[in-house]
Amino acid sequence: MNNVTKITVIEDNEAVKDGLALIIGSQQRFRVVNTYTNCMDALKNLRKDAPELVLIDLELPGMHGIEGIKRILRERSSTTILVISVHEDSKLVFEALCAGASGYLTKDTDHIRLLNAIDEVLTGGAPMSSKIASLVVKSFQRNLNSPLSDRETDVLTLLAKGKTYHSIADELFISVETVKTHIRNIYQKLHVTNKTEALKKAVKDKLI
Amino acid sequence: MNNVTKITVIEDNEAVKDGLALIIGSQQRFRVVNTYTNCMDALKNLRKDAPELVLIDLELPGMHGIEGIKRILRERSSTTILVISVHEDSKLVFEALCAGASGYLTKDTDHIRLLNAIDEVLTGGAPMSSKIASLVVKSFQRNLNSPLSDRETDVLTLLAKGKTYHSIADELFISVETVKTHIRNIYQKLHVTNKTEALKKAVKDKLI
DNA sequence: CAAAAAACACCATTTTGGGGGGATGCGCCG
DNA sequence: CGGCGCATCCCCCCAAAATGGTGTTTTTTG
């Protein structure tokens, strides 16, 4: 078995692209098989390059990096994807991770950290720059100042799973009427009038 | 302003507890104000200790660490919580993060990494051991072998948000009847007969 | 072509939201 | 202490909306 890891780089800024290739190529354990400035070219040669790891930027001309990630994984699901982007806004971060990226670095990552991150992601880790990790962790945390009572939160949580009043009642060992009361109170507290709005607000404010 | 960070340690194994205190105390920028072997004692002195950071184990005698995290944050929401646990199973990790922990280290973390993690978590980061970060990132990733078509996935996603057939139709610019057709096909493909089951299965298999 | 997506109709049944009213227990405040 | 607010729980009624279970058909797209 060959223990050199084949890597491709997709980055539209030529200088950055070549810089990355140089840093990675300086290591005997890595081999940069190709570099691209857009996703289309990278996808065309995906089979031929057969990279174990793809280092990808997100804001790319033509196909966006997020779409690129999806297509790469559709073609070669064994490929590991590591994002390097200037963006630290949560939407893009989550889209990239949902699309299948295994790690997310910001572009201020220095050489040593970059190489460490590559090693880490190749051994099953998920390297993330500090701010990114923080965003990700925060996404799990509930709003601690919820206006809802514990029981109301229970009900809303089950409602969000598509349960009917009846099954919620069964699950919480209360009557359907009580469920209705809770839901009415929830609607009042959230200033909404129906399930859809309530769930939208609940998701937005991380109440459940 | 005082630039020494006050830290408390909650860890039932005395040797480990003292070891952690020693490592942390060796740094001038940190001060271990107190150490505890259970949550109750730590909570009693929380006001007095006024720690900026709490290093906490999860499997503790009496009150579990997860519950401890919640109570600490209820008392002093400005406190930063860093978990150190032997457990790498996803349930506990997500419970800890949902409860409000800002980072999660496994106990095999060495001294240098521990101190780095403390610095990182205090500056708004979210330090995680490699396997933990990987678990967290994987939790975002969809099942890539979904039996559902793109459009069916769209419909199911909106259904999961509590939207009505009508609002789904509006949102996707299709008729309500088409929505119904898609849902019918979804039920068939997932071998379920109703919305609740479909959503349960979809969440479990990460189809949405 | 076959699969996917989209659309229309009919109909019984469920779910839902909104309106009442009422009971209990618990903690807090004056 | 007694009252007040809050959370929790339960019951009735009703009409509108949503759902699911059947059909069938057309268009698009790989």
Nucleotide lying nearest to B162, CA to C1' measure: D18
Going B21 to B22 to B24 to B30, the CA torsion angle's sign is positive
Q: Considering chain B, what is the average pLDDT of its residues?
A: 91
pLDDT of res. B1: 57
Q: What confidence tier does A207 reach under pLDDT thresholds 50, 70, 90?
A: confident
Going B189 to B190 to B192 to B197, the CA torsion angle's sign is negative
Chunked into runs of 10 residues, chain B (208 residues) has average pLDDT values of: 89 97 97 96 92 97 92 90 95 93 96 97 97 94 78 87 87 90 88 82 79
Among chain A residues, the shortest Cα distance to B139 is held by A98
Neighbours of A25 (CB within 10 A): 15
Strand partners, B32: B7
Taking the CA of residue B19 and the C1' sugar atom of nucleotide C29, their distance in angstroms comes to: 48
pLDDT digits (tens, 9 = 90+) for B24-38: 999 999 999 999 999
Taking the CA of residue A85 and the C1' sugar atom of nucleotide C8, their distance in angstroms comes to: 48
Please indicate whether residue A13 or residue A204 has the higher confidence score (pLDDT): A13
Please classify residue B204 by burial: count the beta carbons closer than 10 Å to its beta carbon, then call 0-12 exposed, 13-18 middle and 19+ buried.
exposed
A142-149 average pLDDT score = 83
Among chain A residues, the shortest Cα distance to B162 is held by A196
Angle at A95 between CA A92 and CA A99, to 5 degrees: 140
pLDDT of res. B143: 74
Q: What confidence tier does A3 reach under pLDDT thresholds 50, 70, 90?
A: confident
pLDDT digits (tens, 9 = 90+) for A25-80: 999 999 999 999 999 999 999 999 999 999 999 999 988 999 899 889 888 989 99
Instruction: Decide: B123 and A130 in contact? Cβ < 8 Å.
Output: yes
pLDDT digits (tens, 9 = 90+) for A148-185: 999 999 999 999 888 899 999 999 999 999 999 999 99
Instruction: Decide: B9 and B55 in contact? Cβ < 8 Å.
Output: yes
Q: How many helices (H) and strands (E) does chain B have?
A: 11, 5
Nucleotide lying nearest to A180, CA to C1' measure: C17
Which residues does chain A have within 8 Å of residue B144's beta carbon, measured at their own beta carbons? Answer: 73-74, 77, 100
pLDDT digits (tens, 9 = 90+) for A15-38: 999 999 999 999 999 999 999 999
Q: Considering chain A, what is the average pLDDT of its residues?
A: 93
A178 touches strand D (CB under 7 A): yes
Instruction: Decide: A102 and A82 in contact? Cβ < 8 Å.
Output: yes
Q: Which residues of B touch A (CB under 8 A)?
A: 73-74, 77, 94, 97-98, 100-103, 120, 123-128, 130-131, 133-134, 136-138, 140-142, 144, 159-164, 167, 195-196, 198-200, 203
* Nearest CB neighbour to A97, from listed B103, B141, B161: B141
**Residue A140, H or E segment:** none
The pTM of the whole model exceeds 0.85: yes
pLDDT of res. B198: 83
Taking the CA of residue B160 and the C1' sugar atom of nucleotide C19, their distance in angstroms comes to: 29
Give how far A97 is from chain B: nearest CA, Å.
6
Which residues does chain B have within 8 Å of residue A138's beta carbon, measured at their own beta carbons? Answer: 126
Around A171, how many Cα atoms within 13 Å sit in the side-chain half-sphere? 16
